A and B are shown apart, each in its own frame.
Chain A
Amino acid sequence: MSKTLFEKIWDTHIVKTIDDGPSVLYIDKHFIHEVTSPQAFTGLNKRGLKVLRPQQVVATADHNVPTLNQHLPIKEDLSRKQVEALIQNCAEHGIELYGLGHPFQGIVHVIGPELGITQPGMTIVCGDSHTSTHGAFGAIAFGIGTSEVEMVFASQCLLQSKPKLMRITINGELNKGVVSKDIVLYILSQITASGATGYAVEFAGSAIRSLSMEARMTICNMSIEMGGRCGLIAPDETTFDYINGRKFAPQGAEWNKKLSEWKELYSDADANFDKEIFIKAEDIQPMITYGTNPGMGIGVSETIPTTETINDNDRSGLSKSLAYMGLEQGATIKGQKIDYVFIGSCTNSRIEDLRMVASFVKGKKKAADVEVWIVPGSKQVEAQAIAEGIDKIFEEAGFQLRQPGCSACLGMNEDKIPAGKYCISTSNRNFEGRQGAGARTLLASPLTAAAAAITGVVTDVRELLN
């Protein structure tokens, strides 16, 4: 029988199925971080249990950590306690921790792939919604709540109902100045922030195949923004080349064995999807969001929708959103003054993102009254950027290169955008207060963010590319 990519992985991970209920899904890899794990460890300890398979768990500290002076103790009391709790819990349960100061530390969804821990055909979970990122390797990867973190600790399994399946196919050639972030913001603007709720979403088509692994991760990362349970892309030579030789990648005979398994991971030609969406790559422009959910996006040179032109899903929220953002219906967004630029987060903080920004800003200077923060996704990305001299380019442009962590993506540490200020951000959420109470977030690609850093206003990057 023909199967989808999702089904091929799902079916081989079912321990058993409860009658008229969910299935018991076996989990291969479990990532944890300081914010969503403490209560799970407490629950486990209360039951007198140990983590069942500590070798399948990997921990890092990312959400709460400062991005300046990481060698000093964390100033903020509660943040420090959370990070200390993680250190203690990992020690007690025998879990590998890449904490502050470790050369592998970084945002959980950046380090998993870069260390070769994330591999095709796996089931991967983490107490974090952007776990969907790992699906770019052809894995079933999804975010879970803290009770579920406790379940995986206790049993290496979760109770899950099989989601419906959706395929989004993007064929064609991308326009100049359009990168993977624009693709996903465009999809969101078409299907809205709840367009994939209840679905596992497979991304396919020639435009997807042409992308690097890091660009693919950006797309799967934001499948949760569509409401998707997870996002996946079938693995191919690009995937295998990326994994080969990484720290925890299989080696020798094991590599060959895995490779032949991975090559079977694709949706069969006549496999069935509950929903299919087709997009032409040529229709995608450099994108930006104007509202307070990630589905509220437009081409940078387009005008903000009005109550008449917007999709049904966002109509009732439009006025509230625009009032929060200080923007007007029907207005152009190009030229909007920007106060902060944040290039970072698990969506766009990998080395390719930093290289893209560096090659664009080389020899240019930031606008005088704009603050620019570049926050690498991991210690390894940071080290690579320094090795390539990217840090110098940023310094000359007046950009601040900070230390790895989630940073202004969610403003749990000190990196907050002040109330009322505009921040063009490469992160994934523009919710009210996401980057700090009252902060106004415009989501965009690293290229579009870099363009705004130079001009001080929302800019169509194509006008600056030769």
Chain B
Amino acid sequence: MSKPLNIVKSRFVPINIENIDTDQIIPARFLKATTKDGFGKNLFRDWRYYNDDESKTRADFPLNMSQFDGEILVAGKNFGCGSSREHAAWSILDAGFRVVISSFFADIFKNNALNNGVLPVQVSEDFLQRIFLQDNNTELTVDLEKQTITINSTGESDSFDINSYKKTCLLNGYDDIDYLISIKEDIQQFETQRA
């Protein structure tokens, strides 16, 4: 079970960089944990600090800038490429984000996010650029039921795709394992037929 998600109305943190890979989201040296907690503080670790030193913050990185805040992360095209580490989704969730907006997502990241109650919202490149143009007080509204995203100050809106099964899961906080366990007999029957 993850926390159900429907409407997220919030300011956003913009990271206007393309091809952000999961090694940037959470560097490999932080993958040594055996639990899912506490990854948020190392989200984008090497872009947040100089020389891996928490006292040397990079003032120009949006996550470090006090004017940016919210439950929505907005990033450039091809977000989440590279390694399959689910730690990337955990660190984003643990840092307080429920929605990631980009014009393109890598497949594995998209699945990992959905499996952890984080909604990847894929918008057109044009709409993405319009979000980046907004100032830091702008709120966005992501409505999962209606599959729309709106820039509240201007009223501009775009729609996004999500398959209806995943949508139901997110709206209710279900996960795939509950479903897979519920069809155990079908799986056993399949195995018998193939044998």
- Cβ distance A257 to chain B, nearest Cβ, rounded Å: 13
List of B residues within 8 angstroms of A42 by Cβ: 34-35
In angstroms, Cα B183 to Cα A317, docked, is: 46
- Cross-chain contact A437 with B52 (CB below 8 angstroms): yes
- Cβ distance A6 to chain B, nearest Cβ, rounded Å: 15
- Contact among A82, A147, A227, A419 with B116 in the assembled complex (CB-CB below 8 Å): A147
- Cross-chain contact A147 with B163 (CB below 8 angstroms): no
- Cross-chain contact A434 with B23 (CB below 8 angstroms): yes
A146 near B: Cβ within 8 Å? yes
- Cross-chain contact B108 with A145 (CB below 8 angstroms): yes
B28 near A: Cβ within 8 Å? yes
- Cross-chain contact B107 with A227 (CB below 8 angstroms): yes
Q: A146-B86, A227-B78 are in contact. Are A197 and B116 (CB under 8 A)?
A: no
- Cross-chain contact B32 with A161 (CB below 8 angstroms): no
In angstroms, Cα B184 to Cα A49, docked, is: 13
**Chain B residue at minimal CB-CB distance from A37:** B34
A144 near B: Cβ within 8 Å? yes
In angstroms, Cα B28 to Cα A78, docked, is: 13
- Cross-chain contact B17 with A155 (CB below 8 angstroms): no
| Chain B interface size range | 35 or more
- Cross-chain contact A193 with B78 (CB below 8 angstroms): yes
Binary flags per residue of B135-167, CB closer than 8 Å to A gives 1, else 0: 000000000000000000000000000011110
- Cross-chain contact B163 with A129 (CB below 8 angstroms): no
List of B residues within 8 angstroms of A229 by Cβ: 107
List of A residues within 8 angstroms of B84 by Cβ: 36, 127-129, 143-145
- Contact among B104, B108, B176, B184 with A151 in the assembled complex (CB-CB below 8 Å): B176
- Contact among A24, A39, A410 with B180 in the assembled complex (CB-CB below 8 Å): A24
In angstroms, Cα B47 to Cα A437, docked, is: 11
Q: A129-B84, A151-B176, A434-B23 are in contact. Are A412 and B32 (CB under 8 A)?
A: yes
List of A residues within 8 angstroms of B35 by Cβ: 38-39, 42
In angstroms, Cα B14 to Cα A50, docked, is: 42
- Cross-chain contact A429 with B82 (CB below 8 angstroms): yes
- Cross-chain contact A293 with B19 (CB below 8 angstroms): yes
A320 near B: Cβ within 8 Å? yes
List of A residues within 8 angstroms of B187 by Cβ: 15, 24, 26, 155-157
Binary flags per residue of A415-454, CB closer than 8 Å to B gives 1, else 0: 0000100000000010111100100000000000000000
B59 near A: Cβ within 8 Å? no
- Tell me the number of A-to-B contacts counted with CB atoms below 8 Å: 177
Q: A229-B107, A437-B46 are in contact. Are A154 and B29 (CB under 8 A)?
A: no
Contact residues, A9-23 vs B (CB, 8 A): 12, 15-16, 18, 20-22
List of B residues within 8 angstroms of A38 by Cβ: 33-35
- Cross-chain contact B32 with A145 (CB below 8 angstroms): no
In angstroms, Cα B34 to Cα A309, docked, is: 46
- Cβ distance B147 to chain A, nearest Cβ, rounded Å: 14
Q: A42-B35, A193-B78, A437-B52 are in contact. Are A148 and B115 (CB under 8 A)?
A: yes
- Cβ distance A366 to chain B, nearest Cβ, rounded Å: 27
- Contact among A78, A143, A434, A437 with B108 in the assembled complex (CB-CB below 8 Å): A143
List of A residues within 8 angstroms of B87 by Cβ: 146
- Cβ distance A220 to chain B, nearest Cβ, rounded Å: 15
**Chain B residue at minimal CB-CB distance from A229:** B107
Q: A20-B163, A197-B106, A316-B18 are in contact. Are A151 and B180 (CB under 8 A)?
A: yes
A182 near B: Cβ within 8 Å? no
- Contact among B27, B111, B180, B191 with A433 in the assembled complex (CB-CB below 8 Å): B27
B83 near A: Cβ within 8 Å? yes
In angstroms, Cα B51 to Cα A327, docked, is: 21
- Contact among B19, B83, B104, B165 with A18 in the assembled complex (CB-CB below 8 Å): B165
Contact residues, B172-195 vs A (CB, 8 A): 175-177, 179-181, 183-184, 186-187, 190-191, 194
Most chain B CB inside 10 Å of its own CB: which residue of A78, A145, A193: A145
**Chain B residue at minimal CB-CB distance from A127:** B84
**Chain A residue at minimal CB-CB distance from B168:** A21
Q: A81-B34, A150-B177, A159-B180 are in contact. Are A20 and B81 (CB under 8 A)?
A: no
B65 near A: Cβ within 8 Å? no
- Cross-chain contact B28 with A411 (CB below 8 angstroms): yes
In angstroms, Cα B40 to Cα A295, docked, is: 29
A-B pairs, top 8 by smallest CB distance, nearest first, are A21-B165, A78-B32, A145-B86, A155-B180, A145-B112, A38-B34, A147-B115, A143-B84
12 contacts between A and B (CB under 8 A): A15-B186, A35-B32, A39-B36, A128-B83, A147-B86, A151-B177, A163-B107, A194-B106, A197-B106, A316-B76, A412-B29, A433-B46
Binding site for A on B (CB under 8 A): 17-19, 21, 23-24, 27-29, 31-36, 46, 51-52, 76-78, 81-87, 89, 104, 106-108, 111-112, 115-116, 163-166, 175-177, 179-181, 183-184, 186-187, 190-191, 194
Q: A26-B191, A227-B78, A293-B21 are in contact. List 6 more A-B contacts (CB 8 A).
A: A39-B34, A78-B33, A147-B86, A151-B180, A155-B184, A198-B107
